[in-house]
Amino acid sequence: MTERPLPATPAPVSDPEEVKSCCATAYGSDAVALLLGDSYHPGGLTLTRRLADALALTAGSRVLDVACGPGTTARLLALEHDARVDGVDLGATTLEAARAATATVGLSDRVRFLHGDAERLPAPDAAYDALVCECALCTFPDKPAAAAEFARVLRPGGRVGITDVTVADGGLPDELAGIAGWVACVADALPADAYAELLRAAGLRVLRVAAHDGALVRMIDRIDARIRLLAMASPARMAEAGVDADAVAPYLSAARRAAAAGDIGYALLVAERPGRG
Ligand SMILES: C[S@@+](CC[C@H](N)C(=O)[O-])C[C@H]1O[C@@H](n2cnc3c(N)ncnc32)[C@H](O)[C@@H]1O
């Protein structure tokens, strides 16, 4: 791919409520659905299955999917683990799409979607046997509040499974700060150990921290391939969704370089609320 300079980025958003609503709006856009497909995180359903396997789910387990996006994970957990799943997201459009897709496959009696903020979950204490949060903790401005909410809504003995974007100790490289301004979401990603520390500080016992950096690289490659294909096969659809292949290309190159240098990665964490279930 020909290297181009990164396009100018909008001014970074600093108000926490604005960051959340900007991120929810971005992920509710046609462009994201077009580029990411059904699953909005590195590793796709393969990594989701690995995460689910670590949660000790049994038939009828109550699971909360925090920042559920299009609801693909929620439906998978219902279908493959016979779980009852609530998905929470801030994006109104995202939730509408999640509900529609769930109704289409006849799972609406087992999978519900609620509008809500991860930092103030719309759920009673100890309501869930397990909680998942994929590629979203990095976006929450008040991560300790979200981690405390995870611990609050889990029953004692319940598990939380997280996968998320990680950054090296020095933070995002300058080149990627531009992307962070563009998609406010990854600006606040942390090293994997710092996510683990957040969970510990919320009273959870960390059981596993594993790097899955290859999943991030594969996602970058997949988006790149999808853009090239769409640019050839359906440029009108790209234009309709507001995707400019030439503008996205330098960001993908920058992200690929950062991943190759180990500046960004992806991690899976599993933790447990201490106590007997
Ligand atoms: C990268 S997408 C991940 C979606 C889904 N977990 C998946 O992996 O397919 C991030 C999601 O987080 C949601 N989100 C961002 N901030 C949120 C918040 N404070 N509370 C709830 N959802 C939030 C966005 O609307 C978006 O759907």
| Ligand 1 near 136 CB (within 6 A) | yes
Tally helices (H) and strands (E) across the chain. 11, 7
**pLDDT per residue of the chain (277 residues) written in tens, 0 to 9:** 444 454 444 455 568 888 788 778 878 888 888 888 888 899 999 999 999 999 999 999 999 999 999 999 999 999 999 999 999 999 999 999 999 999 999 999 999 999 999 999 999 999 999 999 999 999 899 999 999 999 999 999 999 999 999 998 877 777 676 555 445 456 689 999 999 999 999 999 999 999 999 999 999 999 999 998 998 898 898 888 888 888 888 888 888 998 999 999 999 999 999 997 6
39 occurs within a structural domain: yes
The amino acid present at 45, given as its one-letter code, is: L
Residue minimizing CA distance to atom 15 of ligand 1 = 24
| 250 is a domain residue | yes
* Residue 179: predicted pLDDT: 56
Domain assignment present for 97 = yes
Q: How far is the CA of 225 from the centre of ligand 1 (A)?
A: 24
**Beta carbons of 266 and 213 less than 8 angstroms apart:** yes
The number of the ligand 1 atom at minimal distance from the alpha carbon of 23 is: 15
146, part of any domain? yes
pLDDT of residue 96: 96
Number of domains in the chain: 1
Residue 7 lies in a domain: no
C-beta 161 within 6 A of ligand 1: no
State both tokens at 161: 């499974």
Q: What is the DSSP letter of 274?
A: S
Tell how far the Cα of 181 is from the centroid of ligand 1, in angstroms.
Answer: 17
- Whether 10 is covered by a domain: the verdict is no
In a domain, 9, yes or no: no
In a domain? residue 29: yes
Q: How far is CA 85 from CA 37, 55, 62, 107, 123, in A?
A: 21, 14, 6, 10, 12
What is d(CA 2, CA 266) in angstroms, rounded to the nearest whole number?
A: 26
Instruction: Determine which residue's CA is closest to atom 13 belonging to ligand 1.
Output: 67
Question: Using CA positions, which residue lies closest to atom 27 of ligand 1?
Answer: 69
Ligand 1 atom at shortest distance from the alpha carbon of 163: 8
Contact between 181 and 263 under an 8 Å Cβ cutoff? The reply is no
CATH number of the domain to which 31 belongs: 3.40.50.150
Burial classification of residue 66, based on how many CB atoms lie within 10 Å of its CB (0-12 exposed, 13-18 middle, 19 or more buried):
buried
| Rounded distance between C-alpha atoms, residue 87 and residue 158, angstroms | 17
258: containing domain: 16-272
Q: How many CB atoms lie within 10 A of CB 103?
A: 11
Per the structure block, which two tokens stand in for 85? 């799943």
Distance 134 CA to ligand 1 centre (A): 8
What is the best residue among 23, 117, 222, 266 to mutate for testing ligand 1's pocket, by most ligand atoms within 8 Å of CB?
Answer: 23
